[in-house]
């Protein structure tokens, strides 16, 4: 999928989510899509009603809680990425894409084929900091 197709898919998804916002609960940091993770070909993801830098900081704090030290950390106002490995050398990736001034798409991948349990553990650690606890 080339960049323009990917951008079109992302813009369409955001438009649909925002158009349907009247029928969904938009309170809290997970206002657009809820606190659940959804799986697609890119990994597990959710939309968060917080800017990229706040989701990035929550991700780093969650990793610290789990005793994991990432080896790649990059952030700007539009996107962020965090890469690392667990103690048993299983890799993980955290990707954050801005979808508005105060909204981000958080994508998590663990392992080469996707490890659901580890992904959910990472997400819960990050979510704790997104919720301010």
CATH number, domain of 104, equals 3.30.310.80
Question: Which distant-in-sequence residues (6+ apart) come within 8 Å of 109 by Cβ?
Answer: 42, 43, 44, 92, 93, 95, 119
Given pLDDT bands bounded at 50, 70 and 90, which one contains residue 27? very low
Q: H helices within the chain, ranges in order?
A: 3-19, 52-65, 116-130
pTM above 0.85? no
Tell me phi and psi for residue 47, to 5 degrees.
-100, 135
Say how far apart CA 18 and CA 89 lie, in whole Å.
39
The verdict on residue 19 lying in a domain is: no
The verdict on residue 52 lying in a domain is: yes
> Could you tell me the residue range of the domain that residue 108 belongs to?
26-130
3-state SS assignment for residue 55:
helix
The verdict on residue 17 lying in a domain is: no
CA–CA distances in Å: residue 90 to residues 26, 110, 120? 35, 7, 15
The verdict on residue 60 lying in a domain is: yes
Given pLDDT bands bounded at 50, 70 and 90, which one contains residue 36? confident
> Sign of dihedral through CA atoms 21, 27, 28, 34?
negative
Say how far apart CA 10 and CA 127 lie, in whole Å.
22
Residue 29 has pLDDT above 60, yes or no: no
26 or 105: which carries more pLDDT confidence?
105
Give percent above pLDDT 70 in the chain. 73
Give the count of domains, the chain.
1
The verdict on residue 44 lying in a domain is: yes
CA–CA distances in Å: residue 126 to residues 6, 51, 57? 26, 14, 9
Q: For residue 101, what pLDDT is reported?
A: 86
Model confidence over 105-114: pLDDT tens digits?
A: 999 999 877 7
The verdict on residue 13 lying in a domain is: no
The verdict on residue 1 lying in a domain is: no
The verdict on residue 15 lying in a domain is: no
């Amino acid at each position: 999928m080339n960049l323009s197709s990917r951008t079109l898919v992302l813009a369409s998804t955001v438009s649909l989510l925002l158009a349907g916002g009247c029928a969904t609960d938009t309170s809290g940091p997970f206002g657009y899509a809820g606190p659940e993770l959804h799986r697609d070909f890119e990994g597990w993801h959710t939309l968060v009603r917080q800017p990229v830098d706040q989701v990035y900081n929550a991700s780093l704090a969650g990793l610290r809680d789990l005793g994991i030290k990432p080896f790649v950390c990059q952030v700007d106002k539009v996107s962020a990425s965090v890469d690392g490995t667990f103690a048993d050398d299983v890799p993980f990736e955290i990707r954050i894409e801005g979808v508005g001034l105060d909204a981000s798409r958080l994508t998590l991948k663990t392992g080469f084929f996707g490890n659901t349990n580890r992904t959910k553990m990472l997400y819960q650690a990050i979510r704790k900091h997104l919720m301010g606890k």
